Structure 1
Amino acid sequence: MPHPHAKRTGEPCWADLMTSDLPRAREFYTRLFGWTASDSGSEYGNYVTFRKGDADVAGMGAHEAGSELPDAWTTYLAVTDADAAVAAARAAGAEVLAEPMQVGTMGRMAILMDPTGAPVGVWQADEFTGFGAFGDAGTPVWHELNTRSYAAALDFYTRVFGWKPVVLSDTDDFRYSTIGPEDDMVAGVFDAAGHLPDSVSSHWQLYLGVPDVHATAATVTELGGTVIREPWTAEFGTFALVTDPTGALFVIGSVDEPPAAEKAGTEEDGTGEPDADLPIG
């Protein structure tokens, strides 16, 4: 469906992958999701735009030769002034990984590391506003900040991006807030301090929709990716945590689940409550 919140300030408007193997990643994602891929040419560093039908759904670029950065997806938040957003973020304790830069006539971007250690992009739209579709198979369906410093993260994004978080749960076992209006939530913040392995830092996580999570997880393996967590069912659907062939992490989530009220008690433990050890979607 159309992505009505792509221009809502402070909310996710785009996601792209930085990869060490552009051809391999291109084949993986086009075959997994039925995407088509178009190369922007040398003027834009051969940046690839993925499309589902006629809708822009994600992007991809290549790491510079010799880069030691891991392959990873980045979520971008919409801003009206990238330079002002970066200044505010720096004042609020963020590290600037890439200073604001103009991307031709498309817009202006920057990359930050928030005070809790999670990289995140900012995008000031000119000609390009971001996602052309959201919430369907083959498109993004959710964005989630898994943070080791939950209160600090909420404070930072509220101050810099104008968030108005809505508390979903606030217990020591499961602390989570959502972003966006009640009828059009687009992102979540998970208190992952007690759940992330020591080797995993705070990070933004991209969820991509599929009609059948179990079948897609099997295809991930067939295409050279890895299933990190086998499919599980939670209050909001069925999910699997996977990587592409070079290790970039993302979540596949079902888009055909009935409303939560119709499927109470579908958790693996039979309680119907989200498993705090896993993203909830």
Structure 2
Amino acid sequence: MSTNTLALPDVTASDQALRRFLHGLPGVDPVGLEARAASLGTRSIKTTAKAYAIDLAISMIDLTTLEGADTPGKVRSLAAKAMRPDPTDRDTPATAAVCVYPDMVATAKETLKGSGVKVASVATAFPAGRAALDVKLADVRDAVAAGADEIDMVIDRGAFLAGKYLKVYDEIRAVKDASGSARLKVIFETGELSTYDNIRRASWLGMIAGADFIKTSTGKVAVNATPSNTLLMLEAVRDFRQQTGVQVGVKPAGGIRTTKDAIKFLVLVNETVGADWLDNHWFRFGASSLLNDLLMQRQKLATGRYSGPDYVTVD
């Protein structure tokens, strides 16, 4: 199943209809959700499966630089690492994408040309999302015009928390239209949504509005991706596909730093939504520091020893 289109149009007829639908979703049992996430995190992964999981996780990374001090040279270096994460081992898979600010898209696109690695760009006044809609849409159009394959947008959390769900829906739809053929990842900033019920509502709101991916976080706040909030979003995409026939991807971002962490998330995917999502077209990690640990663990499996942090490049 490919690009999401507007689903359940009757629930978006008015603010009241959308509110009734979102508040009519089943409530989340926090204790049960966290217990299931913790239980799945204890699964033991043996050597052969671990090697497969490491390569899969590498292929799912959106290698990211989102700093005010970003330069074309830094972006070219990051793009080179995305294409060849381990220059000494050609069997190491490339990452899924390189994610940059809109003004760096052209540099990333030129460097990655012909590699198959996608260029993703944060837009819509990332990370706060506090800008007028026309400014946000101009941000998106600039990124797409420069060659972005994917757009990562942030929702207006203030509007969402104030219950202005139709405003958030309309904004996502407008960004979706401005994105053209680029796939749209909708970031909720789950650490600011306060409750699991809100995360479930945001997940459905994003999917109804046309998100190709739903994403936990910007990585710029204290609480980012967790096994529990990611499990909740995986359940949402599973239920959404059952109801609409449309498949939507999931991207946990921020705070995933070790191979052990990544494997826990892959177990969540396998046990919750199954093999259909175990592919970088449907699941991503927004976690640049994770790549170095994956490369060191991969080298250990191959040689029996750790190469140490000097073995990999520092981003």
TM-score, normalised by the number of residues in structure 2: 0.28
- If asked which structure has higher relative contact order (CA below 8 Å, sep 6+), I would say 2
Q: Which has the higher helix share?
A: 2
Q: Which has the higher strand share?
A: 1
TM-score, normalised by the number of residues in structure 1: 0.30
Whichever of the two has the greater Rg, that structure is 2
